[in-house]
Amino acid sequence: MKFGRISRESPDGPIARLVVVEPEKGRVIDLARAAALHAKATFHAGDAAAVRLAQAQFPGSMAQALANGSNLVDAARTVIEGRFGDEASLPIGDVTWLPASDPPVLRDGLTFIGHIKGWHERMGRDVPESMLLIPGFTKNSASTVIGHDAVVPWPGYITEKMDYELELGYVIGRRGSSVRPEEALDYVFGITLYNDFSGRGLQHNELPIGMGSTKSKDFAHAIGPWITTLDEFEDLDAISMEVRVNGETWGKGNSGGKLWTVAELVAYVSLGEIIEPGDVIGSGTMGGGSALELGRQLEPGDVVELEADNIGVLRTTMGQKEEGLWWPTPRQPFM
């Protein structure tokens, strides 16, 4: 089953709505609307009560909807069955997409051996031994998530080597802490696509500080187009993936060749802290899944499409550079 988020007009302005996505039928189903229709017909709920119950069960926040518990799929299936699903459906081509999740925390792993090799060769760095000891991951800013069909903000301080990263996003469906690998996949609700845009020049300056990437990555994180539930994937190491720029294939491969399994990555992320419903954990970039590895870069106006089997296409357009932003003045050495 596929779940997404769209924006709809309301008397309160645009609001987020949770939808079931049926690409094969060319439609999405507004879950709160279907649930209200269902509650009225089935439980004889009053009009206002039906809306209130439906919005509590299927809020526009994916994080809140998943936090309601493990029954999201069953509950959705019940309310969209038959005519309620039909009555609450919208043509898929007409909707405005929001990020597939609104993650409380957005993290990004580093699991594909091919990318680790390619990145270090291009950046002229050795692969540190630590990468063999513990799964690397970083925390990104969840405030700049964007969805399918969005324009990618391009702050003017990213002056060179603008890049995409072709990644899967593992969406957490259940609250947990210090989960073990053998149970970790029970905490994954589904998989989406994640484009972790990166300014490589600035990243090169940020790395030696040792605190992770900040401004080189946190201007935009594309998540979408929607989430496919985990049961629809036969093999997490054999998901075909591709990235196209302006229609031309720049990278193609699959989700195999991992240094750490999905279960190990999720388990490690959860160690001593809390993974929350709606959290997104990036797989890290697929081997060959960045322009850096090709010695290429993005330009304003470029259309970037990530595609993965069983998910779909996450398409975004690079915006124009925003000039006139403040930038810090270098300090004098003190040692």
CB neighbour list of residue 124: distance below 8 Å, 6 or more residues apart: none
Question: Could you tell me the smallest distance in angstroms from the CB atom of residue 179 to a second copy?
Answer: 8
Q: What is the DSSP string of 18-70?
A: EEEEEGGGTEEEEHHHHHHHHHHHHH---HHHHHHHHHHHS-S-HHHHHHT-T
User: Which of residues 108 and 307 has its CB atom nearest to a second copy in the complex?
Assistant: 108
The smaller minimum CB distance to a second copy, of residues 85 and 287, is found at: 287
Give the closest residue to 5 by CA, choosing from 103, 107, 139: 103
In whole angstroms, how close is the CB of 144 to a second copy at the nearest point? Answer: 5
Minimum CB–partner distance for residue 120 and a second copy (Å): 8
Contacts with a second copy, residue ranges (CB under 8 A): 104-105, 108, 110, 113, 116-117, 120, 127-144, 153, 155, 157, 178, 180-181, 205-215, 218-219, 259-260, 264, 267-268, 271-276, 325-328, 330-335
* Token couple for 6: 């769209």
Burial label for 312, CB within 10 Å (0-12, 13-18, 19+), is buried
Q: Are 36 and 247 in contact (CB under 8 A)?
A: no
Q: Which CB, 129 or 248, lies closer to a second copy?
A: 129
Taking the least distance from each CB to a second copy, the nearer of 48 and 132 is 132
Q: How far is the CB of 202 from a second copy (least distance, A)?
A: 8
DSSP line for 261-291: -HHHHHHHHHTTSEE-TT-EEE--PPTT-SS
Q: Residue 37 or residue 106: which is nearer to a second copy going by CB?
A: 106
**Alpha carbon distance 169, 248 (integer Å):** 23
Give min distance, CB of 328 to a second copy, in A.
6
Query: Cα–Cα distance between 146 and 285 in angstroms, integer?
Result: 18
Considering the complex, state which of residue 218 and residue 307 has its C-beta at the smaller distance from a second copy.
Answer: 218
Give DSSP secondary structure letters for 104-125: SSEEEE--BHHHHHHHHHHHT-
Which of 90, 96, 56, 94 is CA-nearest to residue 72?
56
* Closer Cβ to a second copy, 153 or 256, answer by number: 153
**In the complex, what is the shortest distance from the CB of residue 143 to a second copy, in angstroms, rounded to a whole number?**
4
Query: Closest approach of Cβ 161 to a second copy, in Å?
Result: 16
Residue found by looking up tokens 């915006």 in the block: 319
